[in-house]
Structure 1
Amino acid sequence: MGKLEGKVAFITGAARGQGRSHALRLAEEGADIIAIDLCQQIDTVPYPLASADDLAETVAQVEELDRRIVSRQADVRDVGALREAVTEGVAQLGGVDIVLANAGILGVTPDADADQDKLFRDVVDVNLTGVWNTVSAAAPFMIEQGRGGAIVLTSSTQGLTGRGGDGGGALSGYAAAKHGVVGLMRSFSHWLAPHNIRVNSVHPTGVNTDMIINDVLGKVFEAKPDMAQALSNLMPVETIEAIDISNAIAWLVSDEARYVTGVTLPVDAGFTVK
């Protein structure tokens, strides 16, 4: 029996990358999954976002683990769509015990003519407002059912350091949003502790996913080697793997961490202490 047997996890950005990895890791531990993803492009994001086929692949892989999964296309910027997805998932799976606010974008681009104001707004809308919407949609169900739970918000090393900032709307917005996630986590932890619901944040360094490993960001780093150096890790590794974050989250949401709340957990190869 896995350490999450009988639990239901609501995961945003679940179509690929870290979100899919989290869904599979928690499913391995016995959790059923409510998986959502936008599955559309945002025009200020310079790399391809996940597709409906990606989300379908997450569903197939979870089902191969003999776990149940409810998937829906929904935008984390739309709190109504999130509430509908959670409502449907709860109806089919019997509740929600774990929330992973994982969806995020990175709008860094080599295009000097890019609309920096729009880049800033879009990344903050997804990476910060989207986290607020996710918890706002799911927490009332957790409170009402009265069986406690755990929430993990995906921030970043940029939510602890802000290193590599270049004044542009994309990276500044990213750092601002990821710092804001820490504020939400701390506020939520006070709100939800009386209901035995724990809230923490994880802070990955660069992860080997499509958001980081793409031609666009490669061109940015070629043009700005000082930025690339500033964003390097203390340990001799360029990026870590999604499973490294998933393993940390699997511990955070389990009873092994039953008294851990309000913490910022770096999984960062020493980035934040460099």
Structure 2
Amino acid sequence: MRALPPLVTVQAFEAAARHESFAAAAEELHVSPATISQRVRSLETHLGVALFERHPRTVALTELGRAYLPAVRESLDDLAVATTGLFGPARREQLTVRTQVSYAATWLAPHVAEFQELHPGIDLRVVCAVWSEALDPGEVDVDIHQGRGPWAGVHSEVLHRDAAVAIQGPAAPPVTSVADLAARPRVQVLGFDDVWQRLLPPDAPPPRRALTVDTSLAALEVVAAGEACAVIPERFARTAVRAGRVVLALDRSWPTRQAHYLLRRHEDPRPSPRARAFLAWLDDLDARVPALATEE
């Protein structure tokens, strides 16, 4: 059996480390400062090391305390998520995800019921486009943005790399080469049109007709309704292709300079347990849903 320290001592350590104060930790945990001090001492005795340097009005983590803290926080967060997921929360929690409409409609919407089934205690709110501008940054738990990054004033990390595929309507004549694609009526997506420039040879003829839209979702709907073709992120095409609403014009994908990023303000704390649960589900979803075509 593992010789783990009592949970109350670990909670006292985490709260004291976060507040850099035994008194503030005591107020949060509804005990006396002396109790916090006693519990931290008990943990230090159990581990055989000093976790804090004591000062008259504050405490500071030792080097070993700083090394121990991330694992403690992650373990407490995981315990909170598991307890909520299995036994139900005392109150429901809301998770606000801000993203672009194409990502929400083509990637989240077909799969989001699975997340809700796994986490019945979390009420999910997905906010896109103009409505997201009305949100206070502190209201956003998960902020997903497509682009080339990085952006000033925020920390960004890659969530998904974006490959591109060419799609067309099911009734459109077959395409056998990139040259065939060039001559078709074309739907271009603002901000994604550089893919066409790299995809087509310099001497490619202009399209018979061209329409420019500002979302991949709009491009997908135009293509599904007629004989035009479009190049959109492969991830956005998966559900529509597998449902037969559109088809791949060519059985391959192309790398792009864009990705989907997870954004966080530099002053924001680490993701909440509910946000971490959502991001873990996204990672798992990405691994389980296969790509449509091999990247070249």
The TM-score, its normalising length taken from structure 1, stands at: 0.30
TM-score of the superposition, structure 2-length normalised? Answer: 0.29
Q: Which one has a larger percent strand, Structure 1 or Structure 2? A: 2
Higher helix residue share: 1
Larger Rg: 2
